[in-house]
Amino acid sequence: MSPRRPDNPPLDREHLSSDPIDQFAVWFSEAQEAVPLAEAMTLATISADGSPDARMVLLRGFGPDGFRFFTNYESAKGDQLAANPRAALILYWRELDRQVRIRGTVERLPPADSDAYFASRARDSQIAAAISPQSRPIEREELDRRYVELAVELGESSPSRPDHWGGYLVRPKAIEFWQGRDSRMHDRLLYSRTRDGWAVQRLAP
């Protein structure tokens, strides 16, 4: 981990919000000011044989219900989430010497939410999502051919959201805020969901 920035205050429990989503909003806003692609995050899932699997995705919204991302439902991660709807997320902001770890259950977003986000994407990205059999073997020439064919077929219009593409919501059960210190005595504060709300405890570095 990189050295802690001089203006990074100690991560004390009394200075944190009682709600981890509110605390995440503060950190994410600061990351957007200091970090290229602050929304990049690792998504970890579990394969059919119980092996961990991970890849980078983009955070596309968050709120009291959880954290959102969009992808191909028929991709490897889509298949894994259909079989075992649990996941972990990590956002690491090197420039701030901070990371956030999230664990929870996963569910598909309502179609209207996926439609709205798909419509907001660039046309090239929409076409790519429509023609790509994500995670499946394919030759580059075939991929390019499918793209060109659909682009020509559409003319100046944009494709509708394909049924195999949409959003997911990660409903957090645990959120950990990590902040580095030069001494390696890093700060780790863990929020765990309980029947009464969120409990907070400090973890050893």
C-alpha span between 20 and 63 (Å, rounded): 10
Residue 144 lies in a domain: no
Question: Rounded to a whole number, what is the distance in angstroms from the first to the last CA of the chain?
Answer: 13
- The parent domain of residue 101 ranges over 13-119+163-202
Q: Tell me which DSSP letter residue 75 carries.
A: S
Residue 149 lies in a domain: no
Among the options 181, 184, 188, 195, which is catalytic? 184
Q: What is the pLDDT of residue 10?
A: 81
Residue 148 lies in a domain: no
Residue 73 lies in a domain: yes
Residue 140 lies in a domain: no
Residue 125 lies in a domain: no
CATH number at residue 198: 2.30.110.10
184 catalytic per annotation = yes
Q: What is the pLDDT of residue 1?
A: 46
Question: What does pLDDT average to in each consecutive run of 10 residues of the chain (205 residues)?
Answer: 59 91 98 97 96 98 98 97 98 96 98 97 96 92 95 94 97 97 88 96 94
Exposure b/e, 90-109, CB count within 10 A at least 16 = b: bbbbeebbbbbbbbbebebb
Q: What is the pLDDT of residue 5?
A: 54
With a CB cutoff of 8 Å and minimum separation 6, the contacts of 27 are 93, 96, 98, 100, 177
Q: What is the pLDDT of residue 90?
A: 98
Looking at the chain, how many residues does it have? 205
What's the domain count of the chain?
A: 1
Q: What is the pLDDT of residue 7?
A: 63
Residue 129 lies in a domain: no
Q: What is the pLDDT of residue 12?
A: 86
